[in-house]
Every structure is written in C-alpha cells, then in structure tokens.
Amino acid sequence: MTKFDFNDDSVVVIIGSGAGGGTLSNELAQKGVKVVNLEAGARQSPASFIQDEWKSFGQIAWLDPRTTSGDWRVAKDFSGLPSWICKTVGGTTTHWAGASLRFQEHEFKARTVYGDVKNANLLDWPLTLEEMEPYYARAEDKMGVTRTNGIPGLPGNNNYKVLHAGAKKLGYKEVHTGRMAINSQPRDGRARCLQMGFCFQGCKSGAKWSTLYTEIPKAEATGNYELRPESHVSRIEHDAKGKVTGVVYFDKDGKEQRQKARVVCVAGNSVETPRLLLMSESNLFKDGLANSSGQVGKNYMRHLTGSVYAAFDKPVNMYKGTTMAGIIRDESIHNPSRGFVGGYELETLSLGVPFMAAFLDPGSWGEDFTWWMERYTHMAGMWIVGEDMPRESNRVTLNSKVKDKWGNPVPNVHYDDHPNDLAMREHAFTQGEKVYKAAGAIKTFRTPPYPSTHNLGTSRMSAKPQDGVVNKWGQSHDIANLFISDGSQFTTSAAENPTLTIVTLAIRQAEYIAKQMSERMI
Amino acid sequence: MRVVPIAKANSAISFVSECEEGSSEIPKLDLPITRRNFLQGSGILMGTIASGSLIASFAPSTVWAVELKTLSKEQGETLMAMGKVLFPHKKLPDAVYGLLAKDLDAKASGDPEVARGMVEGINAVNKSAGGNLSKASKAKAYAAVKGLEGTLFFGLVRGQCITSLYDNDMAFVALGYPGACWEKGGYITRGFQDLKWLPNPDAQSSPPPYLG
C-alpha cells in the first residue's frame, strides 16, 4: 500500500471518504494526483456489516456528541443526534438507500423560479442542469444507476406493490421502482441485489454502490492514494499569505499528527465540514476559514422529510427486499398552486422491529403505540423527501459548552421549520395517506422526521463571494487551494436525494483541481 | 431445570441487543437455577410461557428466569408491571418484560445514583397504585404510571422499553420480524413479491428479477 510522508506537501488531502471525498479521491488518483484521504471512522467491509439495526448503528453511525436547538421536532426527539450519518470508511454511502435522481432544471434556479420567499435565503446555483448533465451521466455510469445506461429497473417488493397500487388509483403517473445505485444484475465486479432489506446497515452483497468497495479500492490500485482510517481532523492550517498548508488530526491512538498538503478538500458532511472551518479560525481568519461572507455554517438544510406508515388487514411484510423500493415522482414539480414552492418525492421505506419501535412515534407509549407494533407484518411505509428552504438562522455553530473527546467544541445544529416546509409537509402527509387509503389501508400514521440523513448547504456555492462560501467548482472564494467536496456546497436542497449530485460535483471538481494543479494555479 | 436462556451463551449481562447475526434462533443452553448462589443479587424473576403459543414452540423451555443483581424480586416485578402499562402487548410474553427488569437492574448496578433514583421511582409508582403496581387494577396501574410522566424515572423506564422489549429474539418471533437474512440469501427467492391481495405492477414500473 502506498504511504505518503507527513511532510510531503505535494499531496491533496481529502477529509472524508463518502460520496464526495471517496469519489474525489478516486477521480484524482486516476489522473495521477497524489491523495491522502483522512477518514474519521474505521474500515468495515460487506463481510463485517451486521444485519441487526442497533448493532449496526453502533458499528457505523456518527455518534460523537452534538447538540441541537430550534423548533424542529428532531431537537426534542433526538436532542443529541441531529443527523443520522456515518463515521466509517465510505461514509454515509454505506448507509444510504441508493436513490439516484438528477436535480431538475428549475431547482438550480430556485431564487429566480420561486421568487423572494419571505424569511428564506434563496439563491440560484452558479451552474445549470445543462452544465451538470455530462457529469450526471458519468456518475450514473460509475454508480450503475438503474434505468440509465441500459440497466434494468429493480424488481419491486411487497412494500412497492402497495405504493404502486395506491398511487395508480390516485392517478399518479410517474411511479416505478426508482433510479437506484443498486445492481439489478451483476455489474462492475459487484453482485446483483439479493433483496435482503438491510440497505441502511451496509449492503452485505455489495450490490448497492458505496465508495467503500468501489472508489476506494480503485483508488488504492493506482498507487497514488493512501487511506488513513480513524483519523479525526481537528484543524486546517494556513500560511501567512492565507493559503492552506496542511491539516492536524488525531490518529487512531489519539496522537496528534500533521499532514502537509498542496490542496485541502473538505468532505465531512454538512455538520462536520463547517465545524472544521469554524474550528480553524486564526488571527488572519478570525471568523473561521473561507468565511469572509459570514455564510459558513448557515443555510443548513435537511430536506423536509417525514414518513407515512399504513396498516392493512392483510400482510405486507415490508421488511423483505430493498428499503427504498419505489417512488412516486409526480409531486416533485414546482406548482405554487399547492400552497408552497418546490416539490417532494414519495419513496417507500421500511424499518425493522427495533427501529420501528424507536422511530414510529418517538416519546410515545400506550395502546395507540402498541396497536401499530402488533401489526408490524401488516404495515407498509413511505418517506417524504422534499425541498426545504435555506435560512441564515438555520445553522451549524460551535458549542463551546460541550467538548468532544479531544477537547474541541461540539457542533450545535439549529433548525426552525419554514412556513413553506410546514405547508409542503402537510401536503405530502395528506397525499401519502391518500395513497395508502386508496390501496385499502385500515389506518395511517404520520411519523415525524428521523434524525437528518440529508445534511446540506452549510458552505454553499454562489456566483458572488459575498453570498456564499465556494464558487461553482466548490473552490472557496477566499482560499484558492481549499475546496468543499460534499453536500455542504449545495446552494439549495432540491427535492431529490442528494448523493448522485454530490458524486457528480466530485467528478466535475476533480477535473478542475487536476487542471488547476497542472496549470500551477494552485 | 431449563430456563429460556435469554442471555447469549457467552454473555452474562448484555443480552438484549445481542441478537445473533444471521440467526434468529435462541441458543439452547441450560442455566441451572442454582446459579443464583453465585450472585450477590437479591432478586430472581421467573415465569412460564403459555404452552401452545408461537414463542413456546420456538423456545427450548416454557420456563423463563432472569436474575437481578441490585433490585429485589418485588422491585423487578414493579418494573415489569410498569413496562406492561407503557407498552401493553397481547403478543409479547412476560419473559420479554423480564428483560426490561433485567436491563434496568443492570443500569442500577452500574451507577448508585441511578439505583437510588430507580428505587425512589419504584416506591412512588407503587404508592400511587395503592401499594403494589403489579397487583393493581388496570385503571389504577395506568393512572399511577401516567402520573409519573415527565419524571426522569419515567423517561428512563420508557426509553429502556424501546430496546429491551423490541430488540430481542422473542419479540421478533412474536411480531413476525425474522431479523437478519444474509445467511438465508435474502428474499430474492423467498417471497419478497409474495403479496397477492393487490394487482401486480406492470413490468415497466417493476421489471422481473434477474435470476442469473
């Protein structure tokens, strides 16, 4: 395995090995760029993944202390767990369900199309769908997305049958088993899906795309890449001219190490990324790195979310087969006559008994609750994924009152639902319930949001430096050799699951970084 | 005498979250009742699983027992009764509520402060139930538990119920959840599309599975 010296200042240091960091690492390594990839979590494999919800949670989830505030229900139900993401090699691509949808054209122009939404901080992306399309195509090919590149769709499970039947009765048109980065047939050295139903726990057959067993081993094979697991970065350093020079991190033995770098790319997911920029404040950058706009940590988005579960008088056994087995896309359009801007997707979801108990209705008890648990086998479920509004006041800040095990301030995640979010969630809950009633449900239930899996926007892209943190390449406006490479870049959240767009941006960013390096611009 | 071995074969304490990966079978090991002699603990909770039930056909014995290290038998019974008020289930056997008592006992054993708070809470709920929660009428028991809502003790017991009651092999069997399926090859040939009471989706929206 390739090893780089701590003092090798020709390397690109990439922080995080998930959809953004893992993809960027491989793309750069393939181009001959030397990469040191620092990952806070340990390395697992399909063989070591555990099909047990709580045990798996302990194995791969990000459980470092965090705090919450704001009027969102997550702050009440899961005050120490604002987000449900992963601390493991491969990041949250180990846990994601695989939905891979392109953003729609209008979603890149949210400010222009939606107008001046009160108390929202909307902005157009500094790029367009047209610019993204060739890179979307490469990402879909890389990830093996079904219904692209001649790859057949996945077969729908029982949970999908229920969604499909209800959706069709209701008159929905675009209903299918989704565009999924899960092999419906063997591809790219990976097996086809076995319909196990433990997508969230790490795919034991490797059918679901994860950087853990695609991008990372491919990068390792180039000889240009070194992965350092269990390496928690606490600071990005810079020189007197304001260029970043390397990072300081705690290795697996808790020892502080310093890795020099020519370029630093941050892909720690949208809570850790701004936290690291803020923790790296200095005399030169008193408000944190790349923060002349004051936007670092702001505009935190987490998608609308919410779930509808339904009970039927006949069995469904939704746990059999893929977690996200199908989708209704009709509501993802922008149609303000519904009472809100932007749109949402409805996607099937299922949980096992242990997580159903934890997430169906957090904090509740009594016969109303056990009525549902007793009907576990007769339940179907769907998840709402909708565009939420960016707001300056929804933000990640440092909470100096609480320290992590290395003595650093933990991130506080503040979120208040915007009236547009509330109106959209109400609409989506209503439609979701209608779908299940049309399929014959005897009862439906509105499950509040889980801890956030889609964390976005805390270092957003903007055309003008005063409006955001990075430019259209994810390069920070302030520091030319500092990049943001994860969902933190998102200017707005769009209605679609974010991973495909994160991967697409990483492929595009790798081209830019390699070119800038070869032209000695960075 | 054989008991339903709620503990994993090689684990004395942490049994609730220890569902064996790849198997939902309860390991068949014998724990002799004389084992209590080795424990400092004061309580042992025992019961039987109704014969003829689904759980009974699956368990190696219809007799179950859990040992408590810090709490007394009566205190354990109060916690079980509280669990049944909080999460009443026709499908779950008493043995599952025994797990709740055992897990809370383990928490109490690990922290004297928690133990003190737990005993206080147990005394309070018994008092408001007229002396003994486990013997109180359904209405009285409900009122006694409801009256504690918002207290730390209530939160501790309610929160523990989520993992103790629902993350164990008996609950999986009772509620119809098979758990891990990797070793059985998933559901691709085992009924992931076996729902028959709704029309099948068209092949465009849901293509047939690839079977090699």
The pLDDT tens digits for A261-276 are 999 999 999 999 999 9
By the CB < 8 Å criterion, does A367 face chain B?
A: yes
Q: Which of B91, B197, B206 lies closest to A160 in CB terms?
A: B206
For the stretch A287-327, pLDDT in tens is: 999 999 999 999 999 999 999 999 999 999 999 999 999 99
Band of residue B43 on the pLDDT scale cut at 50, 70, 90: confident
Report pLDDT for B164: 97
| Rounded mean pLDDT, B25-44 | 47
Tell me what ipTM this predicted complex has: 0.95
Q: Which residues of A217-239 are buried (b: 16+ CB within 10 A; e: fewer)?
A: ebbbebebbbbbbbbbbbbbbbe
Length of chain B counted residue by residue: 212
H or E element that contains A308: strand A307-311
**CA-based nearest residue in chain B for residue A153:** B207
For the stretch B77-102, pLDDT in tens is: 999 999 999 999 999 999 999 999 99
Band of residue B199 on the pLDDT scale cut at 50, 70, 90: very high
Separation of CA A74 from chain center: 17
Q: Which of A54, A154, A367 lies closest to B17 in CB terms?
A: A54
- Share above pLDDT 90 across residues of chain A, in percent, rounded to a whole number: 100
Chain-chain contact of B182 with A164 (C-beta, under 8 angstroms): no
By the CB < 8 Å criterion, does B14 face chain A?
A: no
Distance CA A390, CA A492 (A): 6
By the CB < 8 Å criterion, does A519 face chain B?
A: no
Report pLDDT for A289: 98
| B positions 42-61 inside 8 Å of A (CB) | none
Band of residue B211 on the pLDDT scale cut at 50, 70, 90: confident
By the CB < 8 Å criterion, does A440 face chain B?
A: yes
Chain-chain contact of B171 with A204 (C-beta, under 8 angstroms): no
Q: CA of A169 to nearest chain B CA: how many angstroms apart?
A: 11
Q: Which of B86, B167, B186 lies closest to A54 in CB terms?
A: B167
By the CB < 8 Å criterion, does B150 face chain A?
A: no
pLDDT at A190 over 50: yes
pLDDT top residue among B177 and B61:
B177
Claim: this prediction has a pTM higher than 0.90: yes
Report pLDDT for B41: 55
pLDDT at A222 over 50: yes
pLDDT at A69 over 90: yes
pLDDT at B5 over 60: no
Q: CA of B54 to nearest chain A CA: how many angstroms apart?
A: 14
Band of residue B7 on the pLDDT scale cut at 50, 70, 90: very low
pLDDT at B44 over 90: no
Chain-chain contact of B207 with A154 (C-beta, under 8 angstroms): yes
* Tokens found for residue A465: 């430096």
Sort B204 into a burial class: Cβ within 10 Å, 0-12 / 13-18 / 19+.
Answer: exposed
Yes or no: say if B5 and B60 are a contact pair by the CB < 8 Å rule: yes
Q: Which residues contact A373 (CB under 8 A, 6 or more apart)?
A: A353, A356, A357, A360, B87, B89, B166, B175
For the stretch B101-139, pLDDT in tens is: 999 999 999 999 999 999 999 999 999 999 999 999 999
Distance CA A276, CA A483 (A): 13
Mutate to test the interface with A, among B165, B170, B182, B196 (most CBs of A within 10 A): B182
**CA-based nearest residue in chain A for residue B194:** A158
Q: Which of B181, B185, B212 lies closest to A51 in CB terms?
A: B181
| Rounded mean pLDDT, B50-56 | 73
Q: Which of B89, B172, B210 lies closest to A370 in CB terms?
A: B89
Neighbour tally for B202: CB within 10 Å: 12
Cα–Cα nearest to A303, from A477, A140, A490, A513: A490
| Rounded mean pLDDT, A166-194 | 98
Distance CA B132, CA B122 (A): 9
| Rounded mean pLDDT, B62-91 | 94
| Rounded mean pLDDT, A405-415 | 97
Band of residue B64 on the pLDDT scale cut at 50, 70, 90: confident
For the stretch B151-163, pLDDT in tens is: 999 999 999 999 9
- Share above pLDDT 90 across residues of chain B, in percent, rounded to a whole number: 68
pLDDT at A484 over 90: yes
Q: Which of A51, A314, A439 lies closest to B180 in CB terms?
A: A51
Chain-chain contact of B198 with A204 (C-beta, under 8 angstroms): no
pLDDT at A14 over 50: yes
Report pLDDT for B11: 34
